[in-house]
Structure 1
Amino acid sequence: MPEYLSPGVYVEETSYRAKSIEGVATSTAGFVGQSRFGPTTGAPTLVTSFEDYQRYFGDDADLLLGGTPTINHLAHAVRLFFMNGGARVYISRIASPPGGGTLEDITAASAPLVTSAGNVVLRARYPGLAGNLRVRAQALRSGNLRVVQSGTPTVTGVQPGDVLEVSTGAAAKNRIVRGSTAPAGSPGDLLTTDPAQLAAVSFDSNNRPVLTAQTGVVDLATVTFAQKVSLALSVEPNGDGTTGSRTDVLQNLSAHPDSAQFVGTVLRTEDWSIPVEAPSDRSNRIWFDIPLLSDTATDRAEFAAGLLRALVDGSPFALTGGGDGIAATATVFSGGGSGHDARGLAALADRDDIAIVAAPGSAALADADDRQAVRDALIAHCTSLKYRFAVLAGDQGADASSIREVRGMHDSSYAALYYPWLVVPATSGPRDTIQLSPEGAVIGAYARTDIERGVHKAPANETVFGTLRFSRSVNKGEQDVLNPEGINCLRFFEGRGNLIWGARTMSSDLEWIYVNVRRLFIYLEHSIDRGTQWAVFEPNNEQLWLKIRLTIESFLYDAWRSGALMGTKPEQAYFVRCDRTTMSQSDLDNGRLICLIGVAPTKPAEFVIFRIGQWTAEASII
């Protein structure tokens, strides 16, 4: 209760409406698989387009696994996901080094740069053949920054940590300018700088710039001119076709550790133990391994001068030694760990907004036990977390008999199996077409249906975009056998195209045989779970029970109006009970609030039957 301790007017805010429940997202996917580059531990990476995926994980060119070119299933699945209507997908990349080695064994690295503080090593950020890059470094200078104000020389337009080239007297004429013999050159010219002419910028207590070189503080009165030297790095393909065609250019970097644009800060490792203000950019493909630096201003200035000189004179640098490793096993797909050490499927568990999961490429594993184990891991993942659904695929060459064997190994309402594979145009390499497992395209159709119609609509009778044909032609006779067993067929219909022609889960329980029914309940349960967290530790009495009922009934009423529930009236669609009939005194004494909710979901019109008979004008219809 508020306190009123003195006479006066008190204005208070109060709410007379029930708290609302916001429906959770149902179209966000989570994929785990092998790619050409990208992070392999920690939180999964959210991508919102295929171009976004390429920025983090490389293109869709083949992986070289164990020396054998292998289709990049994850990249193609992501491309088909967005082509079929997907909007958001989290990627958890896995990598498997050969011979029981570590990921460092397949991570490229350059030769070290020798500086006054020790070796600075330029490294590829992640494992992968796409980490074998070429890095070019350029040093660029600005115009003259030295001015004389009221007889006092100073420099303008500088920030702490900027590196300046300062010249005095004859030294100005001896400056080395690449491609030119002019004594000064022009702003923006490339240069090779004498480290003795470089100074770092700091500010004194009066906010005046102080220049410190490796020999100590520079007397501005002796300086003829001062020019800012910035560093530009170009990260390029290595030229042999294994790293794609992407080139990244990073400009306005500094070689001094006190600068906000210090190359070692902008391009740093994902070491979460390092206290930095912002996390590193996962899209950067390289990072600088820098030794512990001295706190002395002259030592740091000397380090900056040496690093700048080493980068410019040693350019270009070739990063070699990276590889794609070998094909992952079921254990690698499942992953493990938590937080920043999470890997594989376990990394997806930390993202609460993922609603659909798949492991593109797992159906192409050489070992049948591995293929089954990955499917089991996906089902167990969704069953334990409750609020997500798995999309599975059979073997590449499966026929009706073998896909039934795959289906017979699993029984779950939290997963659906799709058959057969897709034949799509090859985007790289010598092949015209490639075969892909259908998870990416199917989950894209899930997302498209959710966005356009709602999660209660069965994700079937939907076009599969980006597909030339299916690897096998399924006819009605075959589907008559496969559909009752919970195998969703992909079929071609002349005049209508390639369609998803099934919406069944892998459950033997007739209550949960439809994909849309299970996903509708996931949506309702997750939304109510999140939307009623405010009730925890509230007084467990009739007022709270009434608020709970009103909150949930309002949410279910909106679901009924959207067509998700059966019934011509709300009373026929759902009920909510939260009172003495749902809780005993023991429940109240133990702090339990129990709410009973019943909903009548709409099930798909899987069998549309029209009964037609002959009648005459004189006949009566019974």
Structure 2
Amino acid sequence: MTTQFSYPGVYIEEIESPVRPIAGAETSVTAFVGLTLYGPRTPTAVESWADFEERFGGLWTGSELGYAVYQFFLNGGSKALVVRVGEDVKYAEADLGHGVKLRAKQPGKAGDGLKTTVTHDASDTQRYTLAFTDGTVSESYDVSVDPALRSRWPDRLLATSQLVELAADKADQRPDAVADKAFTPGTDAVLKTDAVLGGLKALAESDVFNLLVIPNQLPKPAADPDTRDSLWAPVVDAAVLLCEERRAMLLLDPPFAWDSPAGAATGAKAGLPVAGVAGRNAAVYFPRVLISDPLGGADRKVGPAGTVAGVIARTDTRRGVWKAPAGTDDGGMRGVRSLQFRLTDPQNGTLNKLGVNCLRTFPVYGNVVWGSRTCRGGDVLSDPWRYVPVRRVALYIEESLFQGTKWVVFEPNDEPLWSSIRLNVGAFMDRLFREGAFQGRTAKDAYLVRCDADNNPQAGIDLGIVTIDVGFQPRKPAEFVHIRIQQKRDDAPAQGS
């Protein structure tokens, strides 16, 4: 508003600055969709593995999701968005009477086969022996419900049990005497495609996420793995569509049918899990990885997508979103004991040309991510979005400008506005250039920001449209190191000299 001058003197007026700094969007918030033990069924942010354990129950053998989240945080992830879907799990249980109810420590069918024996102490009505066995491990506890012996109450003693836990709030009475009483069998949660599709709909209404991981998990039918891939295909199609809408990348485990390097090559030649233009927002990794299972027992084979998401998050923090999350320096996979298949160079070469990102094992370096192509990365496609970091830089710029230019809406659409847009968007792009995000020796070579009368004709202004053109020269990863060696010697002296 114009200042009204009336009396002689000094007038102070604050003028709004045209500078509106654009903050960079987050780059590695990873959404996970799948089975959990318990927890909310709405998208929920977790910022550590301990947070996931508290909200969703941590690991259990019936869920691939828990292991994917575990590997994500182990490899450098800092923020996840978890969507719980699927049926509830039921524990194996035993009601011993008088309010004493027990359940298996492990959820689902893992607790089946448990038996318990209760033996009364004839000389003390408050004492009894509680014994369990699953056929392999046996436990026995000398229990008392005497208020003076609180340390020998069942809740205290069973806290150390590997097999069972109390299912009731209290157990202050002596249960009935039984011998080898079988627990009521538990049931595993089953993940169906309809449930996952519902979870994706819920995720569509959530906060910003940049990566999406949906671990492959379906009940094993009598049919071959190709049938399972057909059942899973609607999930992949819906997931990549959501990623296109939300400017995110879909990280894919290998399909069920890719059960060998040759099978992966055959499957990839027939078509990657995501086809067409949508493939620029997806990347598939092969093979599966073996991790040390924190629940004990032998190593567990899991999909690599959760681990790769953690590697991406770590690389973003260390180097930037423009650095390929692969290689001996940035592609190391923590917690991975070995790979399902140890690929050779020729096998790697075949899969790489088809747009499949391979995981490799090298002496000294260990297990590393050794590929950074999108599902549009097949050599025959020659697609400009063939590389993961190139696509992710574009998505990062899009999301940052989407969030950082909302102030433009309803501003007068003329040169003063265009000038302010050029100033603020240009400052954002220049910052990225100085951080090393773009190729080019000078800012003019690296990026452009155009918002003026040339790309905002009167026809567009009349429709209420302001157009901002932003371009950048991406930095593409050096996939192949070509070293040329030849012999060198001094030139022979000219004849007759």
1:392 and 2:252 correspond? yes
Q: Which residue of 2 aligns with 1:552?
A: 425
Equivalents in 2 of 1:410, 1:361: separation in Å? 14
Equivalents in 2 of 1:56, 1:235: separation in Å? 24
Equivalents in 2 of 1:3, 1:46: separation in Å? 49
Alpha-carbon offset, residue 362 of structure 1: 3.3
- Number of residue pairs aligned between Structure 1 and Structure 2: 415
Q: In 2 relative to 1, CA 568–408 (structure 1 residues): closer, same or farther, beyond 3 Å?
A: same
Alpha-carbon offset, residue 321 of structure 1: 9.6
Q: Which residue of 2 aligns with 1:492?
A: 361
AA paired with 1:4?
Answer: Q
Equivalents in 1 of 2:81, 2:303: separation in Å? 19
Alpha-carbon offset, residue 62 of structure 1: 1.7
Deviation track 1:511-556 (CA, whole Å, cap 9, x = no partner) reads 0000000000000111011111100000000000011011111111
Mapping 1:80-99, distance limit 5 Å:
80-96=71-87
User: Residue 280 of structure 2 aligns to a residue in which SS?
Assistant: coil
1:454 and 2:455 correspond? no
AA paired with 2:237?
Answer: D
Equivalents in 2 of 1:27, 1:473: separation in Å? 29
Equivalents in 1 of 2:461, 2:474: separation in Å? 31
Q: Which residue of 2 aligns with 1:408?
A: 272
Equivalents in 1 of 2:233, 2:340: separation in Å? 21
Equivalents in 2 of 1:77, 1:383: separation in Å? 22
**Aligned residue among 505, 514, 517 for 2:374:** 505
Contact 2:37 2:58 (8 Å CA) reproduced: yes
AA paired with 2:308?
Answer: V
Equivalents in 1 of 2:245, 2:396: separation in Å? 16
Equivalents in 2 of 1:568, 1:456: separation in Å? 17
Equivalents in 1 of 2:446, 2:264: separation in Å? 37
AA paired with 1:22?
Answer: A
**Aligned residue among 537, 543, 558 for 2:410:** 537
Contact 2:191 2:218 (8 Å CA) reproduced: no
Contact 2:3 2:13 (8 Å CA) reproduced: no
Q: Which residue of 2 aligns with 1:61?
A: 60
User: Residue 66 of structure 2 aligns to a residue in which SS?
Assistant: helix
Q: In 2 relative to 1, CA 365–598 (structure 1 residues): closer, same or farther, beyond 3 Å?
A: farther
Equivalents in 1 of 2:351, 2:396: separation in Å? 28
Alpha-carbon offset, residue 415 of structure 1: 0.5
Mapping 1:62-211, distance limit 5 Å:
62-63=61-62, 72-96=63-87
Equivalents in 2 of 1:89, 1:561: separation in Å? 29
Equivalents in 2 of 1:329, 1:238: separation in Å? 34
Q: Which residue of 2 aligns with 1:29?
A: 30
Mapping 1:268-347, distance limit 5 Å:
325-335=188-198, 344-347=199-202
Equivalents in 1 of 2:191, 2:480: separation in Å? 41
Alpha-carbon offset, residue 352 of structure 1: 3.2
User: Residue 35 of structure 1 aligns to a residue in which SS?
Assistant: coil
**TM-score, normalised via structure 2 length:** 0.75
Q: In 2 relative to 1, CA 45–409 (structure 1 residues): closer, same or farther, beyond 3 Å?
A: closer
AA paired with 2:339?
Answer: F
Q: Which residue of 2 aligns with 1:590?
A: 463
Alpha-carbon offset, residue 425 of structure 1: 1.4
Equivalents in 1 of 2:83, 2:187: separation in Å? 16
User: Residue 469 of structure 1 aligns to a residue in which SS?
Assistant: strand
Runs of at least 5 residues in structure 1 that lack an aligned partner in the other structure: 64-71, 98-102, 112-127, 133-177, 181-188, 190-233, 248-285, 287-310, 336-343
Equivalents in 2 of 1:312, 1:495: separation in Å? 54
AA paired with 2:35?
Answer: Q
Alpha-carbon offset, residue 426 of structure 1: 2.1
Runs of at least 5 residues in structure 2 that lack an aligned partner in the other structure: 96-106, 112-145, 175-182, 222-227
Alpha-carbon offset, residue 243 of structure 1: 7.9
User: Residue 362 of structure 1 aligns to a residue in which SS?
Assistant: coil
Equivalents in 2 of 1:451, 1:609: separation in Å? 29
Equivalents in 2 of 1:12, 1:562: separation in Å? 37
Contact 1:413 1:513 (8 Å CA) reproduced: yes
Deviation track 1:46-81 (CA, whole Å, cap 9, x = no partner) reads 111111111111131323xxxxxxxx3111111111
Deviation track 1:259-297 (CA, whole Å, cap 9, x = no partner) reads xxxxxxxxxxxxxxxxxxxxxxxxxxx9xxxxxxxxxxx
Q: In 2 relative to 1, CA 365–22 (structure 1 residues): closer, same or farther, beyond 3 Å?
A: farther
1:47 and 2:46 correspond? yes
Contact 2:274 2:282 (8 Å CA) reproduced: no
Contact 2:28 2:211 (8 Å CA) reproduced: yes
Q: Which residue of 1 aligns with 2:298?
A: 432
Alpha-carbon offset, residue 439 of structure 1: 1.0
User: Residue 95 of structure 1 aligns to a residue in which SS?
Assistant: coil
**Aligned residue among 311, 320, 340 for 1:471:** 340
Alpha-carbon offset, residue 495 of structure 1: 1.4
AA paired with 1:440?
Answer: G
**TM-score, normalised via structure 1 length:** 0.61
Structure 1 range deviating more: 366-375 or 8-17: 8-17
**Aligned residue among 308, 313, 316 for 1:442:** 308
Q: Which residue of 2 aligns with 1:359?
A: 214
Contact 1:36 1:129 (8 Å CA) reproduced: no
Deviation track 1:74-130 (CA, whole Å, cap 9, x = no partner) reads 111111111111111111111226xxxxx9xx6999x9xxxxxxxxxxxxxxxx869
Equivalents in 2 of 1:403, 1:587: separation in Å? 50
Structure 1 range deviating more: 414-423 or 611-620: 611-620
Q: Which residue of 1 aligns with 2:487?
A: 614
The structure having more radius of gyration, on CA atoms, is 1
AA paired with 1:426?
Answer: D
Contact 1:95 1:324 (8 Å CA) reproduced: no
AA paired with 1:353?
Answer: V
- RMSD between superposed Cα atoms in Å: 3.6
AA paired with 2:396?
Answer: Y
Alpha-carbon offset, residue 388 of structure 1: 0.7
Larger relative contact order (Cα-Cα within 8 Å, sequence gap ≥ 6): 1
- Identity across aligned pairs (percent)? 32
Q: In 2 relative to 1, CA 47–324 (structure 1 residues): closer, same or farther, beyond 3 Å?
A: farther
Equivalents in 2 of 1:235, 1:322: separation in Å? 25
Equivalents in 2 of 1:445, 1:503: separation in Å? 12
Equivalents in 2 of 1:364, 1:511: separation in Å? 38
Q: In 2 relative to 1, CA 11–365 (structure 1 residues): closer, same or farther, beyond 3 Å?
A: farther
Q: In 2 relative to 1, CA 10–235 (structure 1 residues): closer, same or farther, beyond 3 Å?
A: farther
Contact 1:327 1:365 (8 Å CA) reproduced: no
User: Residue 360 of structure 2 aligns to a residue in which SS?
Assistant: strand
Q: In 2 relative to 1, CA 415–48 (structure 1 residues): closer, same or farther, beyond 3 Å?
A: same
Alpha-carbon offset, residue 370 of structure 1: 2.3
Equivalents in 1 of 2:215, 2:324: separation in Å? 22
**Aligned residue among 418, 424, 430 for 2:285:** 418
Equivalents in 2 of 1:615, 1:594: separation in Å? 57
Equivalents in 2 of 1:455, 1:79: separation in Å? 22
Q: In 2 relative to 1, CA 76–561 (structure 1 residues): closer, same or farther, beyond 3 Å?
A: same
AA paired with 2:76?
Answer: G
